[in-house]
């Protein structure tokens, strides 16, 4: 399951801290979230692993629909992102304007 894979990279406490930082609608900030879950201190390999978990259809990209459910990868009870949050997150990682985030964009987001 996705949770198991993520928990091999992030601790429960890190995940909880990340989710707590954005419980209310429109409070999700990817920079804050990645710092809280400790992703910005992980290795490139670990970041790539997380990317693979988020890329649920294995397309090599994270599409808008997958981003919307981003938080659910960390906890099944987490909320979906709002449209505004999803668009802002997408814009930040979409380096070439194709409407999705590739591995390069993902790494740029986190670092």
Residues within the annotated binding site for Ca(2+)? 55, 57, 59, 61, 66, 94, 96, 98, 100
Q: Which residues are annotated as a binding site?
A: 55, 57, 59, 61, 66, 94, 96, 98, 100
Contact indicator for 74, 37 with CB cutoff of 8 Å: yes
Here the tokens at position 45 are 């390999």
DSSP state of 2: H
User: Which residues 6+ apart lie within 8 Å of 21 measured at CB?
Assistant: 27, 29, 32, 33, 36
User: What is the rounded CA–CA span in Å between residue 73 and residue 5?
Assistant: 10
């Amino acid at each position: 399951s996705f949770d198991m894979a993520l928990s091999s990279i992030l601790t429960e406490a890190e995940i909880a801290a990340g989710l707590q930082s954005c419980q209310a609608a429109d409070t999700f900030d990817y920079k804050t979230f990645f710092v809280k879950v400790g992703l910005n201190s992980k290795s490139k390999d670990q970041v790539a692993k997380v990317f693979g978990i988020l890329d649920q259809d294995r397309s090599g990209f994270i599409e808008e629909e997958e981003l919307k459910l981003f938080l659910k990868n960390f906890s099944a009870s987490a909320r979906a992102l709002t449209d505004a949050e999803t668009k802002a997150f997408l814009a930040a990682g979409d380096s070439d304007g194709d409407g999705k985030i590739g591995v390069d964009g993902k790494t740029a987001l986190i670092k």
